[in-house]
Amino acid sequence: MFFQTKKGRVKNVRKTFNDELKKLHVRFAELGMMVNEAVFHATNAFVNHDKKLAESVIEKDYVINGCENDLEKMTLELIALYQPVTEDLRDVITILKASSDIERVGDHAVSICHATINMKGSLRIAEIEIEIAKMGEYTCQMFQNVLDAYMRKNEERALKIAKDDFFLDEELRKIRKRCVTIMQGNPKVVISGSYYNLVATYLERIGDYVTNVCEWIVFLEKGEIVELNPNTKQY
């Protein structure tokens, strides 16, 4: 009869945990890629007045929500079954928290798409659309960068990405101020100006959630909960 040693049992448990953790990371990467695509398509749909593209992003949102639910279930099961400690526990908790922030980014992408659809036919303001396009491109790049920083566990890069959020804050203030000025001079653009304000706000809030993910990268590496850009976040 074969009797497994205590050392052997521990080794097998460790291997099983590592295998489950790898599955968790793969699922997290899938969530990140789906949300990255949603943000990219949402911003392009708005800038290009593409209603069909906006509708496709909205239709796919349930897949993102399902993936985030899977991750929550997987992380809680992993904690319950293996009771990880120190670095292993931080790894699991980071995925649990960061996946929630990333799913919220997907929600804002959907909100941008709804604005695209609802704004169809409204009088456009070319100079504001140029600023929105710039802001959207910057937001997409920030999100791609934070996903890469997370996968590489690059704390230094995460701190730099968090600082990039100040650009979005400034762009939001600029767009709001310019929209108010234009709307005061031309009542016909009040509806479109309101939507520009909304979309710029959604993009800025995506930046806030990117900053949250940066905070979880710091937690993953240092085990410390820090608040980056505390005076700029809006929810």
CATH number of the domain that residue 161 is part of: 1.20.58.220
In a domain, 228, yes or no: no
Q: Is residue 179 part of a domain?
A: yes
User: Does residue 234 carry a pLDDT above 70?
Assistant: no
User: What mean pLDDT is predicted for residues 77-91?
Assistant: 93
Encode pLDDT of 164-203 as tens digits: 999 999 999 999 999 999 999 999 999 999 999 999 999 9
- Which helix H or strand E contains 134, and what residues bound it? helix 126-152
Number of domains in the chain: 1
> In the predicted model, is pLDDT for residue 129 greater than 90?
yes
For residues 210-235, give the mean pLDDT. Answer: 86
- Does residue 119 lie within any of the structural domains? yes
Average pLDDT over residues 138-142: 97
Global confidence as pTM: 0.92
Block residue for tokens 């890069």: 157
Residue 1's pLDDT is 42
Q: How many CA atoms lie within 13 A of 2 on its CB side?
A: 3
pLDDT of residue 2: 46
Q: How far apart are CA 225 and CA 234, in angstroms?
A: 19
